[in-house]
A and B are shown apart, each in its own frame.
Chain A
Amino acid sequence: MPGDFATEILGQSATKSSVKALRAELGLDKPPVTRYLDWLGNVFQGDFGSSFSGRSKVQGDQGDRSREVVGLIVPRLKNTLFLTGVAAMLAIPLSLILGISSALYRNSYYDRSATGVSLVTVSSPEFFTAYIFILLLATLFPVFPTISNVDENTTLVERFYRTALPVFTLTLITMGHMMRMTRSAIINILSSEYIEMAKLSGASRYEVIVKHALPNAWAPISQVIAINLAYMLIGSVVVEYVFNYQGIGRLMVGSVYNRDLPVVQACALIFASTYVILNLIADLIGIISNPRLLYPK
């Protein structure tokens, strides 16, 4: 990425000295390693620094008006968590049900159409899916708004209504993966000997799936759910941009555009830790659901 905040904000006609002065003020003249270590040290103390933008020391202005990164991020993060939370609540149960049922009736027309459709949705990029939704549900049949504008005063019902299209998009792009993985995890287990044994001891189809297959499938299923939750959060970068939703993804894209590094760094940290934490939870579920790991020999 060429340039930094100083060259970006002062424009092409800026003099070398003014660029240098702004760099010195923001600390951009220090070597990268020092800047990184400074930032890291501050983060451990809970200080994410201040945004570069929005700082203007006009004459008569007293002190610094630049905003804290935390104050900038928290409301956006809440918005993003709302969006992905709603999408997850829709996508996870739906894909589990679809995955399990298509494993149960595998190679039927139902299974084939479900896996076929999921292959299409999982292969389409999210912006494409988003535009299809806009075309269908906002332009041709204007049911939902194209732009998902929300603020603190928006009521919950209104929020659901306005975020409908981004939620649908996120649901659709993650559901395919989760459904297919659930399906193959269950099918894998259905071919094991203890499932045949369960059948031969008179267990019904439902019992075989819910009592015998599912308890052994939690580990792979929770793994794929974790990956997709993380993907939703990160995938929301594009979706939020398309629907102009005031989430953390949009904030990050904007900040990258302005070379507003403290904000970009904080966002990246949030995305990375979400990934790590979600995977950790999935691993814990894998251990808890497996007696072989929980109880020693």
Chain B
Amino acid sequence: MAYIIKGETGDWEVVIGLEVHAQVISASKLFSGASTTFGSDPNSNVAFVDAAMPGMLPVINAVAVEQAVRTGLGLKAKINHRSVFARKNYFYADLPQGYQISQFDQPIVGEGILVLDMPDGSSRAVGIERLHLEQDAGKSIHDIHPTKSFIDLNRAGVTLMEIVSKPDMRSPDEAGAYLKKLRSIMRYLGTCDGNMEEGSMRCDANVSVRPVGSTELRTRCEIKNVNSMRFVMQAIEFEAKRHVDVYENGGKIDQETRQYDSAKGETRTMRSKEFAHDYRYFPDPDLLPLVFDDAYVASIKATLPELPDDKKERFISQYCLTPYDAGVLVGEKENADFYEKVAAQSGDWKLANSWVSNNLFAVLNARNLSIAESPISADDLSKLITLIKNDTISNRLAKDVFEIMLETGKAPDVIVEERGMKQITDTGALDKAIDDILAANADKVAQVSAGKEALIGWFVGQVMKATQGKANPALCQELLKKKLAQ
């Protein structure tokens, strides 16, 4: 459903482009051998070149290049066999060189595509403009000393991929879906852990609005460094409404950089155009152009895993899942792997989907656990489904067993055995229970005989109660019908 902002003068739509800074997974930095371990003591992961000591020179990290190409391939993007590192010059205390080594007019990855999975099960393609490699800056800490700032260079020089989308998104939801999908792909590829809280994935949003039906691109504002998906969506929503208000009051939007205040739920000016930096980009003379051949790209391509889009398609065709269910399962590779294991071991893809996607995920979400931390293993969940399928336990009992599994961590067959929860499928054992109930409820038996068939359900319930739920409901119903008909 289209996202429309109802204004006084008419309907408006929002135009969104996102720039994501994704920290590349690699042991060492983009141009130095220093470690990238998160959470180390301040200034302990700093090589001479990271601190821009005189005469120090950058040397490209081959792993970072491979990760960028890998990500480019995952975005079905054009891989540029020749790219150039450029210096982006500006002064800041946590930027030791006085410039950031980045890529400017010749990035390592060109145009690509990202497919969004929308909550209603539909899909939508968003264009990728480019992906380039660059260094991260260090960290300034302003709240330790009243007049001085502290600088931590552990992050200085860590590899970032800047991934720029085309202005193809039209709603905050689409922006959210874009971030989710991009993170999913990078996690599948093992190129970025996508952890927005630790800052390993950061987002700048470019937002403008236009009247519905128009194709113009109006002046945009850039909202910098938003650090959660929810905040990105909130910031876009606020910013779009602000633009509409400004236009409808006869004003004009100035191109500027803004920041999002999540406490107040609003964006505000950070830097107007007049104070925009002139970065004086030029090719870094310390580095040769980055050049590789087809064979190099092919060798990386050969190691790509099955990516979420392909996996989703396969789940739909192989397991007959709905696009929505398949989309939920493939979001995280570990979830998809878990599902496939349960489906294979239990031999029932449908029950597997309902137990994994509904029951297990609900518990994990509630407890804020990842699938890797699941209290129930794929093996045990498969066993539970097998117990249902071979009529050892009913669906109702299975839910109890599931709860006990969560609490005790025991295997379902052990629980069923220990607690005598096996379904009663023995006619002789049920006969007595049914006879007792029939004898004690002669009035209701008479009503059934008089044609009130619906009461059979009530009798089934009574039998279940008497057997602590262990009676096989189908068998129970069959026996009841037979006896009542007599």
Q: Is B one of A's binding partners?
A: no
